[in-house]
Structure 1
Amino acid sequence: MHALIHLLGFVSAFRLASVPQLTGKTIFTLPTEAFLPLGLLWLVAGSLFFASALLFLLKKEWWWMIGATGLVVSQALIILYWPEAKFGTVANLIMLTGIVLAYGSWNFKAMVTRELARFNAPLITEREIITPKRLSDLPPVVQQWLHHAQVIGKENIQTVHLQQSGEMRISPEGKWMPVIANEYFTVAKPGFIWVADVKAAPFLHLAGRDKYENGRGHMLIKLLSVYPVADAKGKETDQGTLLRYLGEMVWFPTAALSNYIRWEQLSENAARATMSYGGVTAAGIFRFNKAGDVISFEAKRYYDRKEGPTLENWLVTVDPHSCREFNGIRVPTKSDVTWKLKTGDFTWFKLEVTDVVFNKAINPSGTLQPTIAETNSYEMAR
């Protein structure tokens, strides 16, 4: 409809039909010969809006570029023809909102794609097959876990791609918000990139990217994929992301054999894992049931507060009944993440792993799923 209205400006300027509402009144006097070029600009603006609408319907992520160009031309004409066209500004503001949302989603996704391209590690051609002898130096409880996870006879895991769903909240009394996420790991050079989309409310989402690379962590969260609301980095974040990698190792258990992890058995059902990498060292305790499944991971991790981060107990509880096989390896799929604070337990994340792929090269431009952000921008533009 907005595009069609622009075509009326073209029709009026070229006198192709009578348009009583458009007399050609401008904010300052123009020579007669200027109206035909301006009529062509009305046609250009309308055509750009038509093109962006078509690209939008085809779900081309770059539709906003065409729409933004049309918006600039349109608003310039509206200002010039302000006495008769001023109400078009309202439609342009609505269009601008959709364009900003689409740009935010496109820009955030482009950033992640670039990071994944750098993060992507070439796979080693001669892949190691895990043997019982390879486990012999580990504590018995860790050996039992790896046997139960069915790693014997399987290839050593080099890369991982997970798809996740779940819900999170940002305060103990806060509402639960749906989350969809993709996470990518490399093992020889430990690291991960976690890309999440959180639906905070209808038409309101948070885009998150947590990263652990070269021993350094960085958490970035943007409201509507545009406005940064969290941008955490530094030694506390480095320690936290290292611990996250260590705890999430249950999804790619052959990483327990890595030379940057040292194991110590504490009891018949518990072992401490100490990870040292990139000048940062941290440790956590894995607990197992009698069958050999991991049931929890606990560590001292930095908790963000207004007055500064403090070391608190961080607990990941794992549902052993949720175990599934992916590429022949048995891993848990459901877990809860809880801060054990002095004021009480704060469970802030409940997640489920829905798919796991091992030892496949990361395709930076082809692996990211449509997000809540994109859905919101489509709906707003519509």
Structure 2
Amino acid sequence: MKKGRQIMYWIIGIFIFLILGILIWFSIPYSPMKAEFAQLHNQQNSKMQIQNQVFKQEDIADLPMPVQRYFEVCGFIGQPKMSNMKISHNDVDFILSSSMPKLKIKCTQFNSAEKPERVALIDTHLYGIPFEGIDAYQAGVGSMKGVIAKGVTLFNQTGAAMNKSSLVNCLAESLFMPNFVLQDFVSWESIDENHVKGTIAYYGLYASGIFTFDKNGFLETFTTDDRLYVDTNGNVKQVKWSAICGDYREVNGIKQPKSLQAVWHLVEGDLVYFDGHDTFIQYNVAE
């Protein structure tokens, strides 16, 4: 009987030790995903070339009029050309899938201006457990990985479809970092006074989409058919996708959108899976 109680006490002690260890592991700021994100960002940052020029009217003279007007109304003319962009999404409603609850996330993202490269870190909790995700596109390879409890991989999507979708993301975000717009791998086709077709070609891939501007010249939406949607059963299909931005505010002399949404236009209805309410953009960020 005494031996049985000792075994029970050992089991309880080990259980308590494991629970305390898990709680401490969850509470410390370090995580393998954050370390991986820092490494990817440092790799991207090491190739950054600091620009010593400002945007001039002649830089945009050959662009379609809606894009020229966007440069002007947002205040980029006369501002320094940027080498990279940091986007902080501080208040985002996010949906991993229709079968999972809506999450409140923070997302930190870095884009390169010289070539299509980007890396983003998602940080949140799923059922009270830390959940982190990395959305990366470097050297033509796109990937999206999600990890729960700092060590259990929920998904790790790679492949040709992810490569092209990641290239589309770079195009969708191009006007937030206008020096990217001036690169040779981006081309433009005027449609009318409020619509422009943009095309990006790099790493042997190309993708395109339609940019829509409002009557004041601000970017409203980017829509493309060049992204593939993966449903909860793993089925891949081509679905129209849009990025929607608005609520422009002035930061350091430049007008930038505060709200940003990403939408899948599914047959059963639109799925707004990324709904950001406090987006903040910075340029030439080293850390």
The answer to whether the superposition gives a TM-score over 0.5 is yes
User: What amino acid sits opposite 1:199 in the alignment?
Assistant: H
Q: Which residue of 1 aligns with 2:268?
A: 343
Alignment of 1:75-86 (within 5 A): 82=7, 85-86=10-11
Structure 1 unaligned residues grouped into runs of 5+: 1-24, 28-80, 364-382
Query: Counterpart of 2:119 in 1: which secondary structure?
Result: strand
Q: Distance in 2 between matches of 1:143 and 1:241?
A: 26
SS at match of 2:184: coil
Q: CA deviation at 1:112?
A: 1.6
Task: Specify the alignment match of 1:317 in structure 2.
Answer: 244
Residue 240 of structure 1, CA deviation: 0.7
Taking the TM superposition and a 5 Å limit, the aligned residue runs for 1:217-366 are 217-300=142-225, 301-305=227-231, 306-319=233-246, 322-361=247-286, 363=287
1:103-131, Cα deviation, whole Å (9 max, x unpaired): 89522222222222212145435512111
Q: Distance in 2 between matches of 1:353 and 1:84?
A: 51
SS at match of 1:339: strand
Q: TM-score, normalised by structure 1?
A: 0.68
Q: 1:179 aligns with which of 105, 118, 129?
A: 105
Q: Residue 91 of structure 1: SS of its match in structure 2? A: helix
* SS, match of residue 292 in structure 1: coil
RMSD: 2.4
Contact kept, 8 Å, 1:312 with 1:341, in 2: the verdict is yes
- Of residues 80, 102, 106 in structure 2, which corresponds to 1:155? 80
User: Are residue 199 (structure 1) and residue 125 (structure 2) matched?
Assistant: yes
The 8 Å contact of residues 250 and 332 in structure 1, kept in 2 or not, is answered as: no
Give the AA of the match of 1:242.
Answer: L
Mark the runs of 5 or more structure 2 residues left unpaired by the alignment. Answer: none
Residue 168 in 1 paired to residue 62 in 2?
no
1:113 matched residue in structure 2: 38
Q: For 1:260, give the aligned amino acid.
A: F
CA 1:103–1:310 in 2, change beyond 3 Å: closer, same or farther?
farther
What is the CA distance between 1:205 and its match in structure 2?
3.4
What is the aligned partner in structure 2 of residue 43 from structure 1?
none
Identity %: 22
The higher radius of gyration belongs to 1
| C-alpha separation in 2, matches of 1:212 and 1:241 | 6
Q: Residues 191 and 88 from structure 1, CA distance in 2 versus in 1: closer, same or farther, beyond 3 angstroms?
A: same
Change (3 A) 1:84 1:289: closer
Query: What amino acid is aligned across from residue 314 of structure 1 in structure 2?
Result: W
CA distance in 2, matches of 1:158, 1:121: 11
The one-letter code sitting in structure 2 at the alignment partner of 1:142 is V
How far 1:90 sits from its partner (Å)?
A: 2.5
Q: Is the 8 A contact 1:159 1:186 kept in 2?
A: yes
Instruction: Report Cα offsets for 1:269-288 as digits up to 9, x if no partner.
Output: 10000001111100010000
Q: 1:137 aligns with which of 62, 78, 98?
A: 62
Tell whether 2:12 aligns with 1:87.
Answer: yes
- Going from structure 1 to structure 2, the CA distance change for 1:126 and 1:231 (only over 3 Å counts) comes to closer
The amino acid that maps onto 1:185 is N
Q: Post-superposition shift, 1:100?
A: 4.9
Separation in 2, partners of 1:316, 1:170: 17
How far, CA to CA, are the matches of 2:23 and 2:100 in structure 1?
28
For the residue of structure 2 that corresponds to 1:147, the secondary structure is: helix
CA distance, structure 1, for counterparts of residue 270 and residue 11 of structure 2: 56
Question: How many residue pairs get matched?
Answer: 282
Q: Tell whether the 8 Å contact from 1:252 to 1:331 is kept in structure 2 after alignment.
A: no
AA matched with 1:117: N
Cα distance, 1:135–1:192 mapped onto 2, change above 3 Å: same
Amino acid across the alignment from 1:204: I
Equivalent residue runs for 1:44-55 within 5 Å: none
Which deviations, in whole Å up to 9, do the C-alpha atoms of 1:119-163 show, x marking residues without a partner? 214543551211101101111111111111211111111111121
Partner of 1:215: 140
Tell whether the 8 Å contact from 1:121 to 1:186 is kept in structure 2 after alignment: no
**CA-CA distance at 1:177 after TM superposition:** 1.1
CA distance in 1, matches of 2:238, 2:29: 34
CA separation of 1:291 and 1:254: change in aligned 2, threshold 3 A: farther
Task: Report how far residue 199 of structure 1 moved.
Answer: 2.8
Quick one: distance in 2 between partners of 1:86 and 1:219?
39
